[in-house]
Amino acid sequence: MSNPLWLGNTTKSGQELFLGHESLLRHFMAIGSSGSGKTVLCKVLTEEILHSKIPVICIDPQGDLCSLAIPELRANVLKEHGLDPAFAEELATMIDPVIYTPASSKGIHLTADPFPVTTYASKEEHIRATSVTASIVTSLLGYDLNSADADGAAAFLNLMIELWKPKCYVDLAKQIHKMDSEAMGEYNSVINTTKIEQLSQRMSRTLIGSKS
């Protein structure tokens, strides 16, 4: 992460412009008239940050930056601006982009309901969405997400969501609550029976009173 971020070249002299990583700790704003290159600048900056292995979260109402998550589109963007498409291929091997969409069936649907009813365009999106759902439920149940208990609970929930395909949180909670010790024992490689019983109790408590 020692190399600075490359932003491009100046129009007149052709001098290369760089931005140090420490600059990312401060505010940045791209201002200009329509067509002046604000989006292109943000795309270049985003790609350079990712190339430096720094995670990026983009809030992108127009969908301009999300197109960078599609390898073939990313290569086209680079070609249009006279840049090396090989950079796009290298970047594609370095990052794992995930697109969350609060008002669309594309990408991974963001919603207050951890079990959104939607159809995913690919198996990869479905797998990611299931993993996200399991993580959300684990968080809602009050687990410390940095703990081994949380890892086991999330892995178990992920398996149950894949196996049972519950329509909502309540369905999942009830199905887990109905499991007997023998059924729980089938998942000892992921989480032991006692931990599943504790998980079930936590879920049951969320279905009554104010927590419900």
Instruction: Please name the residue that has the structure tokens 């419900």.
Output: 212
Name the residue with tokens 């968080």: 139
CB 130 within 8 A of CB 123: no
Residues 28 and 85 reside in one and the same domain: yes
Q: What is the pLDDT of residues 117-172, one digit of tens each?
A: 566 767 888 888 899 899 989 988 989 888 999 999 999 999 999 999 888 889 99
pLDDT one-digit tens code per residue, 5-50 = 887 777 777 788 888 888 888 888 889 998 888 888 888 888 888 8
Q: How far apart are CA 192 and CA 197, in angstroms?
A: 9
> Is residue 103 included in any domain, yes or no?
no
- 152 in the same domain as 63: no
DSSP at 53: T
Asked if 121 and 206 sit in the same domain, the reply is yes
pLDDT in tens, 65-112: 776 666 566 666 666 766 677 777 787 788 777 777 776 666 676 666
- Quick one: which of 54, 44, 56 has its CA closest to 6? 44
What mean pLDDT is reported for the chain?
82
15 part of a folded domain: yes
| Full domain range(s) for residue 43 | 5-97
Q: Residue 185 pLDDT > 90, yes or no?
A: yes
Q: pTM value? A: 0.55
